[in-house]
Structure 1
Amino acid sequence: MKTLTASESAAAPANDDAATAKALSPVLPRNDASTGADAVDYLVHAATAQWTGGLSPESLALAFADWLQHLAASPGKRFELASKAFGDGSRFVRMVSTPHATWEPWFMIKPQPGDNRFSGPDWALPAFNVIAQAFLLGEQWWHSAVSGLHGVSKGNAAIVDFVIRQYVDTVAPSNFAVCNPEVLRRMMETGGGNFVSGWHNCLEDCRNLFGVQPSEPTHFMVGKDIAVTRGKVVYRNELIELIQYAPVTTDVCPDPVLIVPAWIMKYYILDLSPENSLVRFLVERGFTVFMISWRNPGPADRDLGLDDYRKLGVDAAINVINQLVPERPIHATGYCLGGTLLAIAAARLQKERPGCLRSVTLLAAQVDFTKAGELTLFINESQVAFLEDMMWQRGVLEAAQMAGAFRLLRSNDMIWSRLVRDYLIGERAAPSDLMSWNADATRMPYRMHSEYLRKLFLENDLAEGRYFVDGQPIALSDLRAPMFVVGTLRDHVAPWHSVHKIHLLAEADIEFVLASGGHNAGIVAPPLEEGRSYQLLDKKADGPYVGPDEWLQRAAHREGSWWLEWVRFLTSHSDAWVPAQPSLHAPQGGPPLDDAPGLYVLQR
């Protein structure tokens, strides 16, 4: 397959504006401009990354040096910490000396909301409850030691707190069979059979780690169990396949829906099993849906840039849809990174082709990265440079590397709880379509990921009007089409406070939804699933700004799925339904290229 050449940025204008020149200058691949000494450094850093999980040791060392030096120069803080340790210790001794008849669980400290390690009823038993409270007191003390230290930068304090928390979590009593009552109870029920099952689970994981596939796969199969909504691949280039889904209703909405998924994972997060498929939900309600399926890049694609993803992705898809559904504006929808890219493309289209988009929907997508949550701990100059050196050798950021970073953000849920369940309790979580999708990650080209981290995360160029497309700056204030924006309550990738910042940037009517759940489960919210809820509040383009805390108080709370609200929004911004076209075809009336889900989604 042909390897793409990264598009070159236009030359800087004649004036000597440093910010403009910087924005216009291309981000050259490091191997194109390196000396022999630089090449040695890149190789050393790439080798180091194998042992650090991709974390920059220099970044960690600088953060800890900042914290330790300020702590050493703060006798008051050290005295406060010593007093807290003595006070907590004294209270703990009194607690364990209390007669059993007057025992009250969680007398001193309770787990934080969202910490489910000690949620089982057996953790309220005195012996295990004492152990859990001792651990939580120690965890709280370490957090106090890092926070509130005058003079330490917020970024360094957050890094130190994060790293210490990772180490503290390794010694949580829930991780050890001897002091985890759930494991002990399971051992008594099975006569120790749980450890045998856990050993077999461990061996199976080791075989998978070394590429030995199980004889009977238990995961969901793409095209068989998931990504099964009927459709055709109507367009393919070096980067995307464009899937058009077949209508199932007599009449359809005349304005097509284009979905731009994130390229960090496969597109079918939005087309899982039929009962969880957002695509099927839309098609069954009469919408003509197009989906971008990204190709999984390899080392030869190292020079693909962020603008290549815009041109060969969003822009190419819109051009094809305009041929297939002529003279109809598009309901453009972007999820996660795809939403960020869509916002860039939509702002540019507003200048070039106003009226091209009927509406813009952003699902858990950020356009301002100043409050991007704990993910920003991995994004500073030292860390980005380290990642660039690591990617310079490989040409891509491997899927496992990015997946590991996301697991660290929720290590209790995604690492330790899983290890306890699989290896100590000896039970596997029931396979699900979402878990299968989560294991199907993709690689990211060196140049694109470097540009994304630097221009968007590190320098926040998009939100601050310094992001250039084809030599011209774009501004999110050019977003004028009605917008439907979804944040999720427990999102660790795109915190909803960050998603909410679109209110400060776009000059459009905005319906903002805060859905229950996390980054993935909050978006995959089929109406038939119980326990779903959301809040909704709209803002007119000329209306006053409402901050996130005030928004949370004022927004109406509703039970059910936000998918129904989105259908209402799309319908209200569409014309009258028209008869569905009888068959699908490629541009200029040619035959479709393949059946959905296409070829790119199957690439490893």
Structure 2
Amino acid sequence: MTQSPGGKPPEYQVPDPALVSRTMAEVAERGQRIVQDFLKRQSTTDGFSAPLNIGSAFMEMTAKLMTNPAALMQAQLGFWQDYLTLWSNTTRRMLGDPNVDAVIEEAKGDKRFKDEAWRENEVFDFIRQSYLLSARYFTNAVHSADGLDPKTAQKVDFYTRQFVDAMSPANFVMTNPEVLRRTAETGGTNLLKGLSNLLADLERGKGKLRIRMTDDSKFKVGENIAVTPGKVVFQTPLMQLIQYNPTTEKVLKRPLVIFPPWINKFYILDLRPKNSFIRWAVEQGHTVFVASWVNPDEALAEKGFDDYMKEGVLAALDAIEAATGEREVNAIGYCLGGTLLATTLAYMATKRDNRIKSATYFVTMTDFEEAGELGVFIDEEQLKALEERMDKRGFLDGREMATTFNMLRANDLIWSFVVNNYLLGQDPFPFDLLYWNDDSTRMPAKMHSFYLRRMYQENDLVKPGSIELLDTKIDLRKVKVPTYMISTREDHIAPWKSTYRGTQIFSGPVRFVLAASGHIAGVVNPPDSGKYSHWVNEDLPPTPDDWFASATELAGSWWPDWQRWVTGLNRAEVPARHPGDGKLKVIEDAPGSYVRVMAMD
């Protein structure tokens, strides 16, 4: 029996029989309804899952392992030697020896084993170390398979880690000391509450598990998130253009326009006033415009990448000129929005359109040769299955995209909530970032198929003239505008060494900056937070490793560095501009109506 932190056995509480009876009756009724709904959905074209094509990858890996039995035997011997040492150490601890070192420890930052009992209790310490040894053995065995092609090796490694993460003892009632302690203290009502949470999530996903990560009742777009004052001044079928109210008497002559990714919603850059990049940029004297992309449905199934260029970037430039009288702008693209920006700049270079005077890329890939773990989901079998689903619906369901991204960080974005919501029976904590993460968007079928095939699978964007959009061959080498690239060191979506390749493609002056943390936290890092350093290097050697070897680490946010860079290009100022002052009239208040459409609507 696990003891409480104070050393006393936990007090058992007998559950209220009436509560148990009501809960079980509710479980039966809801469970029957969920199963019926799920079975009904399976009979429709919307109910099947794409093949992950895992089996063939693991069969190939096994065949490669068998060609080198000595290496496999050596790994097994090492595993058993470590296991015998663990048995011996655990026995010594049980006999009262306090001076016993651990055979293995979890990686720094692994939150699964933060409860004190994982180390203080001999049994749970043995369970923890046994799991870590097994996990290491599985991983090493996979890595020892020589001769696998890179795609197969990546797939095997990824799904091995998914399996290892799923089998963590922290994910099960009887092997998690915190869950056992909570069960003893509450008389099992935590498990009843957890079962209710599980059913609610199944109902939420209409028969598919949709884990609730935050208390979404605490947030409302336009009321306590995405609240920087502004107006929608222009819109197309694909986007609304928001112009934000100035907070300074004078503003920079060149307006600033931001193109977020349409895989997510723009308000990641405007979550709260204290961490809003949009608000901060307004305070620095920029006239800020942001594209708020539509959450598309089947009516927009035939919208392609070229439509996002025409009805997004190019339309926004025309609208900004009408609103401010200025042809020249500074532009920012975030992730996929950055890929769109680079593509559009190549198109504009061919057309001798020089309205964008500087380009900033937030964690943006243009060369997809090494696309990171997202590449696991992109092979011919999976793409065909995905396209079949999209063709029937007209779009990619936003929940499928969200699940893919969550799998990249399964311990943080899946299993931690399984433990909290279902085993501990707790409601998720209100967290604006996780609310945004769950506010998923759909993808038009034509655009998404083009993006995955031509960029991720074929890597055509980096090949001069291989992609043609709006009757124009795209060549990124023609992009000569001053460029600022910010990448993040722990990015699992756009790996920084892949984004760095862009420094060798563009023909104009490039500044590359690397921030600490990941795809979101490394970007949304206001100066006042005091978090996360960044690295700078004026040189751009051919390889990212050479760049980092001679880079200088600086404390704090990269935002001021970007502000110095962009104002260094042109410091001219004009009186502050307000939405509606120019030729464009106000349509509605920010954040607009497009952003309020949710994927389940």
Any idea what SS the aligned residue of 2:389 has?
A: helix
**2:592 aligned with 1:598, yes or no?**
yes
Q: Which residue of 2 aligns with 1:6?
A: none
Aligned partner letter, 2:592? G
Aligned to 2:26: none
* Whole-angstrom distance in 2 between the partners of 1:571 and 1:225: 31
Q: How many Å apart are 1:64 and its aligned residue?
A: 2.0
Say if 1:48 and 1:109 are closer, same or farther in 2 by CA, change over 3 A. farther
**Shift in Å, 1:326:** 3.2
How much has 1:106 moved relative to structure 2? 6.2
Give 1:134's aligned amino acid. Answer: S
Which deviates the most, 308-317 or 142-151? Answer: 142-151
The one of 537, 541, 554 equivalent to 2:550 is 554
In structure 2, the residue matched to 1:122 is 117
Q: Give the drift of 1:551.
A: 2.5
Match of residue 526 from structure 2:
526
Is 1:322 matched with 2:316? no
Residue in 2 that maps onto 1:161:
157
1:447 maps to what in 2? 446
Q: What's 1:131 paired with?
A: 127
Partner residue of 2:305? 306
Secondary structure at the counterpart of residue 501 of structure 1: helix
Q: Structure 2 vs 1, CA of residues 475 and 119 (structure 1 numbering), >3 Å: closer, same or farther?
A: farther
Q: Deviations over 1:301-323 (max 9, x none)?
A: 21111111111111111121123
CA contact (8 A) 1:482 1:509 kept: yes
Question: Do the aligned partners of residues 70 and 131 (structure 1) sit closer, same or farther apart at CA in structure 2, a change above 3 Å counting?
Answer: same
Q: What residue is the counterpart of 2:416 in the other structure?
A: 417
Partner of 1:11: none
Q: 1:553-592 maps to which residues of 2 (within 5 A)?
A: 553-581=549-577, 583-585=578-580, 589-592=583-586
Query: What residue in structure 2 maps to residue 182 of structure 1?
Result: 178
Amino acid at match of 1:79: M
- In 2: Cα distance, 1:529 partner to 1:194 partner: 36
Taking structure 2 as the reference length, the TM-score comes to: 0.85
Q: How does 1:279-290 map to 2 (within 5 A)?
A: 279-290=278-289
Q: For residues 297-355 of structure 1, give each alpha carbon's deviation from its aligned partner in whole angstroms, at most 9, with x where no partner exists.
A: 11122111111111111111112112333344211100111011111011222232354
Distance across 2 between alignment mates of 1:575 and 1:328 = 16
Which amino acid in 2 is paired with 1:67? Answer: M
Range with bigger deviation, 455-464 or 342-351? 342-351
Instruction: Read off the aligned partner of 1:550 and give its amino acid letter.
Output: D
The CA distance in 1 between the partners of 2:100 and 2:411, in whole Å, is 22
Identical residues among aligned pairs (%): 39
State the one-letter code of the partner of 2:319. Answer: V
Label 1:199 to 1:382 Cα distance change in 2 as closer, same or farther (>3 A). Answer: closer
Indicate the larger mover: 346-355 or 330-339. Answer: 346-355
- Give, in whole Å, the separation in 1 of the partners of 2:275 and 2:101: 39
Number of residue pairs the alignment of both structures matches: 550
Q: CA deviation at 1:224?
A: 0.9
Q: Is the 8 A contact 2:504 2:542 kept in 1?
A: no
Asked whether the equivalents of residues 70 and 152 of structure 1 are also in contact (C-alpha less than 8 Å), the reply is yes
CA–CA distance in structure 1, aligned partners of residues 47 and 254 of structure 2: 49
Alignment of 1:232-251 (within 5 A): 232-251=231-250
Q: Secondary structure at the match of 2:112?
A: coil
Distance 1:516 1:105, change over 3 A: farther
How far, CA to CA, are the matches of 1:505 and 1:50 in structure 2? Answer: 43
Q: Show CA shifts across 1:194-251 (max 9, x none).
A: 4455345435434533499x9x962311111111111111111111111111111100
The separation in 1 between residues aligned to 2:502 and 2:262, in whole angstroms, is 22
Amino acid of the structure 1 residue aligned with 2:231: K
Moved more, 565-574 or 91-100: 91-100
1:75 maps to 2:74: no
Q: C-alpha distance in 1, partners of 2:169/2:99?
A: 20
Deviations 1:419-450 (A, max 9, x none): 11222233334312212111111110111100
- Displacement of 1:269 in angstroms is 1.1
Q: Is the 8 A contact 1:46 1:393 kept in 2?
A: no
Letter matched to residue 325 of structure 1: T
Q: 1:111 aligns to what?
A: 106
One-letter identity of the residue aligned with 1:423: Y
Q: Specify the code of the residue in structure 1 equivalent to 2:472.
A: Q
CA distance in 2, matches of 1:207, 1:392: 26
The match for 1:490 is: 490
Question: Match for residue 138 of structure 2?
Answer: 142
Taking a change above 3 Å as real, the CA distance of residues 165 and 103 of structure 1, as seen in their structure-2 partners, is: farther
| Structure 2 contact 104–129 (Cα < 8 Å) conserved | yes
User: In structure 2, what is the equivalent of residue 435 of structure 1?
Assistant: 434
Matching residue within 25, 40, 55 for 1:61: 55
Out of 88, 91, 98, the residue aligned to residue 94 of structure 1 is: 88
Contact 1:398/1:444, CA 8 A, preserved across alignment? yes
- Contact 1:527–1:560 at 8 Å: present in 2 too? yes
SS in 1 for 2:118: helix
Deviations 1:379-427 (A, max 9, x none): 1222212211121211110001111111111111111111112222333
Q: 1:586 to 1:205 in 2, by over 3 A?
A: farther
Give the match's secondary structure for 1:535: strand
Give SS of 1:117's match.
Answer: helix
Provide the rounded CA distance (Å) in 2 between the counterparts of 1:99 and 1:428.
Answer: 37
| d(CA) in 1 for partners of 2:101, 2:191 | 30
Q: Which runs of 5+ in 2 are unaligned?
A: 1-41
Change (3 A) 1:443 1:138: same
Task: Classify 1:338/1:226 alpha carbon distance in 2 versus 1 (closer, same or farther; 3 Å).
Answer: same
Q: Which amino acid aligns with 1:412?
A: N
Aligned-residue RMSD, C-alpha: 2.6
Out of 113-122 and 225-234, give the one that drifted further.
Answer: 113-122
Distance 1:105 1:297 in 2: 59
